[in-house]
Structure 1
Amino acid sequence: MQRLKWLLLLLIVNVSARAQQSTRLTGNWEFLKQDVGGIWEIMRPVGKGNPESVPLWQSVQLPHCVNAEDAVDPDVNYYQGPAWYRTQLDINNPYNTGRTLLFFEGAGQKTDVYVYTTKVGSHTGGYDEWSVDITDAVAAFKKTAVYQSQFKGKIPIAIRSDNSRDLEMIPSDLSDFNVYGGIYRYLNLVYTPLIAIDKLFAKAEVDKTGKLGSVNVSARMYFSSPPAGGGGREGAGSAGVTIKLIDPTGKPVQQKEVALTSLTSDIHLADFTLKTPQLWSPQKPVLYTVEATITTAAGNYVQQEKIGFRHFEFVDHGPFMLNGQRLLLRGTHRHEDQAGVAAAMTEDMMRQEMIMMKEMGVNFIRLGHYQQSRIILNLCDSLGIFVWEEIPWCRGGLGGPVYKEQARRMLTNMIEQHYNHPAVIIWGLGNENDWPGDFPEFDKEQIRSFMKELNELSHHLDLSRKTAIRRCDFCKDIVDVYSPSIWAGWYRGLFTEYKQATEEEFKKVTHFLHVEWGGDSHAGRHSESPDKALQSVKTGGGADERAGDASLYGGAARVSKDGDWSETYLCNLVDWHLKEQENMPWLTGTAQWPFKDFSTPVRPDNPVPYMNQKGVVERDLTKKEAYYVFQSYWTTRPMVHIYGHSWPVRWGNEDEEKMIKVYSNCTEAELFVNGKSYGIKKRNSQDFPAAGLRWNIALKGGAQEVKVIARTGKVEVRDSIRFQYQTEKWGKPAGLMLEKISEANGIATMQVKLLDNKGMLCLDAANWIRFSLAGDGKLIDNQGTSSGSRLVQAYNGRAIIRVQTNGGKSMIGAKSEGLKTVFKDL
């Protein structure tokens, strides 16, 4: 029912605010993953089967990412270079004097656009919106002979996308994420009348008491010469605008009419005042609408923008306040990345991801490390999730004039394009700008100078939001809000040092917000002794990550290098952090890094190669155990979860006491093992681990059935798991066993086990496993998940891969260094 509630809410409020005549161009595209000799090579007529019909093009749907699979291919570097897209469009602009645009919601990283052989536009920057006016080029092409003879009345469009490495472009290729290529956000065909709104700015404010709201509305017009033969500038001189303020129920509450006397620069349209407006908050994300209608003799144009009234404040050396009350920001992070598609996430994928965050209890998100799709910002508005959004000045140092101009342009675009979203409270200016490497010179004063310039530009464009950076101590005095590096229990120190380390950093700045904390976990890997690595970790040396800490080799002892990467350890780390945060009344908030595992070129040796595995869900949105730890602290809807749903075999001695943990937000819980009650325990958030909902149970070997009933008043929620308890000891892995464990809808799930010389499952084995396939089927690999990679570390002596059988015969193989390769017929 909760999921249905959010879906209904989004259907009501998350509608497009762009021009009425806008169409997503999703189908009938061809793709080429290489460069061509010239634009004519794309447009020249060739017959199918003709030797001249090379190179070969692939049919694709938009959005599409060049690196949909190779970003996580364990055996190659991901492709960075030019690629091409082409299609043919029916273009019939209904406005006699109107313009025809291609509106890009994002494409990476450098893009050139052609109508037939005419280049009509270019853009550098993979994450901001931009458009190309193709009106004149289309009109000119329609006059050519090939318009009808070769293209049968359609307009050929070609787009070159290029994510080649370039030191004078942000983000740096040293960044801990892929710099993707392709048209990986929606591309739209837009028809506008001669006069239209390019950007509608609606600044909604409310005083601290919440009794008086105001809206300032201004606009930047799109006005261009009409196309040749388009009928002149009819109506241009008699344009008027009607501006309406519409309440959350859809009722207009105020209206003003303005004559357009000028079409240059930003035009002030209206001011509204509103007594006791309904306030926007994470609990009640109430949205008003500003609607502007331009009326001319040539036709009307309507644009809507959602706004929200809220008053927020970062108290000096204190907490975060919303609408006059303290609010603890409970946050996470998001990268634009998904299994099978990389950056090319559909709107449905984005919606599912954001609803899962909300159901986890998130009320704040940092969009790392670049401005993201307008769809995500709309979802944050609708769901009630505060936003820190930032430009991709990330690592590497500081480049020259071209580099700086791109940063200025992207900051300007980010603020102007997302200005109206009530969810946005912070504009991020950079990330880890203390990280050198792209240039022979690393000058802190030059970085400080440019940071000051960006800070001033941000405040000039928008005084209503704060500026922020993460991890660049020599610039922390420049921005409004600063986040230092605190990775207690992962890159440095113990997680029990988290509160002390945070307090020390909190005192160093006026406004503090802790973004990025957590740790990696290999989904499906669990441990009976998760804290063993902590014995060798030094304490008292701070909790910031330093150069080389992400490496799995060398340096001081640290959990990131010496730990087991189990879900068990991550749950303990998260549990401790959340417990402490409840007793830090001065804390503004934090953001765990990140919500979902994501691809990165700088981590080839991780258990899933080229994946940052710090997410609480996998790259395909499969929940890890830590997701439920957050739910137990951050949500109010009754929930309960027994730890270990993906832990089929536990181990130990006969009658050894084993801890069974339950994560719940209920008042109390009762545990049953094999039908026997082990009593009721009360929840106490400060009783670590699992807020006191843990039982030490003496287990006998064999099958175990565990159930829990959690209660708050008369409300009950339940959960159950089954697992085997193995008391037999095992030796070193001596062989592999490959088996099919399920098959449905043409997908076979295969599991390999590491066994000792007596055939016992080696439950602590973390050997590398490589899968291969011959025949009619296809491995479902290059997904960046624990069960979707052909090269993967075992989790508790096993590993899984899926095969698309295609209704035929195949043979799958599994190998591990030093062991005999095994095969299985499918």
Structure 2
Amino acid sequence: MIRSVLFFVLALLCGNQLTAQGSRKITAFNTGWNFTKDTVAGKWEAVTLPHTYNKTDMQLGKNFYTGDAYYRKQFSVGDQLKGKRIFLRFEGVGEIATVYVNGKFLTEHRGGYSAFAFEITNVIKYGALNELLVKTNNAAHPDIIPVNHFLFPVYGGIYRPVSMIVTSPVNITVTDYASSGIQIIQKEVSPEKAHITVNAKLENREMHYRDVIMKTALLDSKGNLVVETQKKIALSPQGITYANDSLYLKNPHLWNGIKDPYLYRVDVSLLRNGQEIDRVEQPLGIRNIELIAGKGVFLNGVKYPMYGVTRHQDRWQYGNALSPGQEREDMQLIKEIGATTIRLAHYQQSDHIYSLADSIGFLIWAEIPFVNAVTTKEGANAKQQMEELVRQNRNHPSIYMWGMHNEVYSKTKDDYVPVLTRELNDIAKTNDPYRYTASVNGYGTMDRPENLAGDVQGMNRYYGWYEGAIDDLEKWATTIEQQYPDYKVMLTEYGADGNIDQGSDTLPDRKSIDPVSGQFSPENYQTETHIHQWAIIEKHPCILASYLWNMFEFATPLWNRGGVNARNLKGIVTFDRRRKKDAFYWYKANWSPEPMVYLANRRDSIRTGSAATIQVFANMGPVVLKLNGKTIAGRAGVNDKHWLFDVTLKKGKNKIEAIAGKGKTCSDLMYWTLKQAR
């Protein structure tokens, strides 16, 4: 009881919420911070984490701030914590974090997307105020990936949560690349059995060898014990002790993606004299994932539909400093559309996002930001970020793929990019030999020097936007099918910009759109791109998975395209998450089991021609269209979710209603106004 009160007092002194994993105490460390860009002027602003100093300027254009900014926090640690080990864990700082405690330099972390942890046990003052100072810097650096702000901004600040972790001197390691210190490996997974191996890194900071019991427990989704093992381990006071144990299950409840994302929990505890001295909890979704060239992705032996989107994490007026509620909203929107897999591009995303994916059932492609440009100075940092990505996230059942690079190129197979990518592949496979690896190319050919370093080759194809015509995707897919039947290939980006506030009552000719520097990117062109390209994708099983670019609009501060400065408009939901474009409903009709019908081109409501074609998206049939109360005959579109109705509009306001289904029906309503018949 006294110990509980003392830790509660610590939480109050830190000004944050206290949580626990058994005897390990984890305190949120997010309030009571002060921020400034100018320590000389001494003007400090009170802030709460997460926080970024670029939430506005990086979303408006090229005149954004990069450089140093400072965060400081005072905190107290009571005398009762002497003899404990105390750590701080930062989940994300953009992009260099230099840390001082009580004026003493302690550590530096380079890279804006991965977590880092460090010990402060021996530099803090007990029973007195301590000061933590973090200098951040988000300028582009040639030796840190990403090396520029071109494809997306590197927001500055402590934009993800911070926590204080208190352990006993005998503990599961905290500073193994800020990972859990636990690795869970699944073997021989089937509906009949599963073999689970648990590896742990243990530390002893006492004077002598200590005998402990490592207890490994598997609990079901309700917290009931399923199986437990105990193993006696002698911990040396020098270095790290590696320990492992195995769990065997009969008739496991499998993690089955969106259909049934069942999660067990693995608790690894250290016991001494019958008392728990440390514990770490990790999720476990028991599953088997296999990619078969030319056939698809198989989850637990059954072909799994890979309905894929990509996600950038930033949001209008928030930057990347998001709340858990905002992250949950993103994942719920992705679930609503019927997606089953997400490429989290182009960097490691938050712990919370991966945990949400586990519980919702998404299959996740996770990657590092080796993207867009090469300096030949970023190799060491790319390797560091790959190590961090894998170690910090390899226990998440949702993750099936480690991504190594995106659109970086070389002239020969012996050049910098192919060699570095092979080294990244080795890091991923050494730390996690049981998952797939991939690299992504922006060309449509397999025979590129930077290709084939991983298990899967991704290709980004923007037919109808940056090259060719919309339907050229068919020729590309057929070529892959015929020439590379034994290769695992994924379509990792496709789509077009779509400005939801730019209307056109006719489909623009591709030649009238300049995708790089033009200011005209009407929504209906984006819609048409997705309609035709999804219909192609679903016919070609050689495309093991496809990922539309992008679920959400995001900032591109160095761009000025499509009528909105500093914005990539390829998202099918607006930057603020308030409006869904037509393409959103096209995919919902194709992917979601929820009955729906949707009238497309509703924002192209001012018409200049009486002859028009109305498009309807529906996942239930038949579809009946009524124009001003009169039923109109329809025809098939590109697939069975696409209906077309040729109509003649009357001058003035026209009421258009679509009704789908038999018996229980769905309906949608819109109005078009004919201004001048031609």
Q: In the TM superposition, what whole-angstrom CA distance separates every residue of 1:725-763 from its partner, at most 9, and x where no partner exists?
A: 32289xxxxxxxxxxxxxxxxxxxxxxxxxxxxxxxxxx
Q: CA deviation at 1:581?
A: 2.2
Q: How does 1:190-589 map to 2 (within 5 A)?
A: 190-198=165-173, 199-205=180-186, 207=188, 209-224=190-205, 237-262=210-235, 264-265=239-240, 267-282=242-257, 283-296=259-272, 300-400=277-377, 403-434=378-409, 445-471=415-441, 473-506=448-481, 507-508=483-484, 510-533=487-510, 551-552=516-517, 564-589=520-545
Which digits, 9 at most, give the CA deviation of each residue in 1:616-660, with x for residues without a partner? Answer: 11111121221111101011111122224444x42124xx12222
- TM (normalized to structure 2)? 0.88
- Once the two structures are overlaid, the 10-residue window that deviates more, 244-253 or 15-24, is 15-24
Instruction: Check whether the contact 2:608–2:676 (CA below 8 A) recurs between aligned residues.
Output: yes
Letter in 1 for 2:586: V
Count of matched residue positions in the alignment of Structure 1 and Structure 2: 642
**Equivalent residue letter for 1:73:** L
Q: Deviations over 1:134-157 (max 9, x none)?
A: 2222127x5xxxxxxxxxx53222
Opposite residue 721 of structure 1, the aligned amino acid is M
Tell me how far 1:435 sits from its aligned partner. Answer: 7.5
Distance 2:560 2:410 in 1: 20
Aligned to 1:78: 64
- Once the two structures are superposed, the pairs formed by residues 420-819 of structure 1 within 5 Å of their partners are 420-434=395-409, 445-471=415-441, 473-506=448-481, 507-508=483-484, 510-533=487-510, 551-552=516-517, 564-622=520-578, 623-647=580-604, 649-653=605-609, 656-674=610-628, 676-679=629-632, 687-688=637-638, 691-711=641-661, 713-727=662-676
Q: State the Cα deviation string for residues 229-254 of structure 1 (Å, max 9, x = none).
A: xxx77xx7143221111123332111
Structure 1 pair 726/131, CA: closer, same or farther in 2 (3 Å)? Answer: same
CA gap 1:670/1:18 in 2 versus in 1, 3 angstroms = farther
Aligned partner of 1:5 in structure 2 is none
Aligned match for 1:89, one of 75, 79, 89: 75
Distance 1:268 1:116, change over 3 A: closer
| Distance (whole Å) between structure 2 residues aligned to residue 89 and residue 63 of structure 1 | 18
Contact 1:668 1:681 in 2 (8 A): no
Q: Distance in 1 between matches of 2:406 and 2:457?
A: 11
CA contact (8 A) 1:204 1:213 kept: no
Q: C-alpha distance in 1, partners of 2:154/2:31? A: 25
Residue equivalent to 1:112: 98
Distance 1:18 1:523 in 2: 50
Q: What is the CA distance between 1:259 and its match in structure 2?
A: 2.1
Distance 1:611 1:253 in 2: 50
Taking the aligned partners of 2:525 and 2:43, their CA distance within structure 1 comes to: 49
What per-residue deviation string (whole Å, max 9, x for no partner) do you get for residues 72-99 of structure 1? 224x422110001122223348655212
Q: Which runs of 5+ in 1 are unaligned?
A: 1-14, 38-53, 143-152, 226-231, 437-441, 538-548, 553-560, 730-826
Structure 1 CA distance for aligned equivalents of residues 270 and 82 of structure 2: 16
Query: Which protein has the larger Cα radius of gyration, Structure 1 or Structure 2?
Result: 1
* Aligned-partner residue type, residue 615 of structure 2: K
Any conservation in 1 of the 2:535–2:639 contact (CA below 8 Å)?
A: no
Q: 1:194 to 1:550 in 2, by over 3 A?
A: farther
Partner of 2:49: 62
Distance 1:717 1:644, change over 3 A: same
- Counterpart AA for 2:624: E
Aligned-pair identity in percent equals 24
Higher alpha-carbon deviation: 369-378 or 273-282: 273-282
Segments of structure 2 that go 5 or more residues without pairing to the other structure are: 1-18, 174-179, 443-447
Give CA deviations for 1:273-301 in whole Å, capped at 9, x if unaligned.
21231221222111111111222368532
Q: Secondary structure at the match of 2:158?
A: coil
Deviates more, 1:101-110 or 1:453-462: 453-462
Shift of 1:429: 1.0
Please state whether the residue corresponding to 1:191 is helix, strand or coil: strand
Match of 2:89 among 90, 103, 106: 103
Q: Deviations over 1:774-824 (max 9, x none)?
A: xxxxxxxxxxxxxxxxxxxxxxxxxxxxxxxxxxxxxxxxxxxxxxxxxxx
Kindly state the Cα deviation for residue 702 of structure 1 after the two structures are TM-superposed: 2.4
1:529 aligned partner, one-letter code: T
Query: Quick check: 1:94–1:191 contact (8 Å CA) kept in 2?
Result: no
Aligned-pair CA distance for 1:195: 2.2
Provide closer, same or farther for how the CA distance between residues 572 and 689 of structure 1 changes in structure 2, counting only shifts above 3 A.
farther
SS of the residue 1:139 aligns to:
coil
The change in CA–CA distance for 1:660 and 1:361 in structure 2 (over 3 A counts) is same
* Structure 2 equivalent of residue 809 of structure 1: none
Structure 2 Cα separation of the partners of residues 657 and 65 of structure 1: 51
| Separation in structure 2 between the aligned mates of residue 364 and residue 491 of structure 1, nearest angstrom | 25
- Give the match for residue 29 of structure 1: 33
Residues 680 and 635 of structure 1, relative CA distance in 2, 3 Å threshold: farther
Taking the aligned partners of 1:601 and 1:496, their CA distance within structure 2 comes to 31
Q: Helix, strand or coil: the match of 2:131? A: strand
Cα distance 1:106–1:629, how it changes in 2: closer, same or farther (>3 A)? same
**Structure 1 CA distance, aligned partners of 2:403 and 2:583?**
27
Q: Give the CA deviation at 1:408.
A: 1.5
SS of the aligned residue for 2:379 comes to: helix
CA drift of 1:499 comes to 1.9
Contact 2:464 2:510 in 1 (8 A): no
C-alpha distance in structure 1 between counterparts of 2:221 and 2:633, whole Å: 45
SS in 2 for 1:136: coil
**8 Å CA contact retained: 2:294, 2:543:** no
| 1:548-578 residue CA offsets vs partner (Å, 9 max, x unmatched) | x9632xxxxxxxx59x411111111111122
Measure, in 1, the Cα distance between the counterparts of 2:475 and 2:267: 50
Deviation at 1:610, TM superposition (A): 0.9
- How far residue 208 of structure 1 moved from its aligned partner, in angstroms, is 6.8
Residue 19 of structure 1: CA displacement? Answer: 7.8
Amino acid at match of 1:288: Y
Change (3 A) 1:323 1:681: farther
Cα-to-partner distance string for 1:706-729 (whole Å, 9 max, x where unaligned)? 332222x53322222344332289
1:550–1:699 distance in 2 versus 1, CA, 3 Å: closer
Give the 3 Å change call, closer, same or farther, for CA 707–522 of structure 1 in structure 2: same
SS in 1 for 2:268: strand
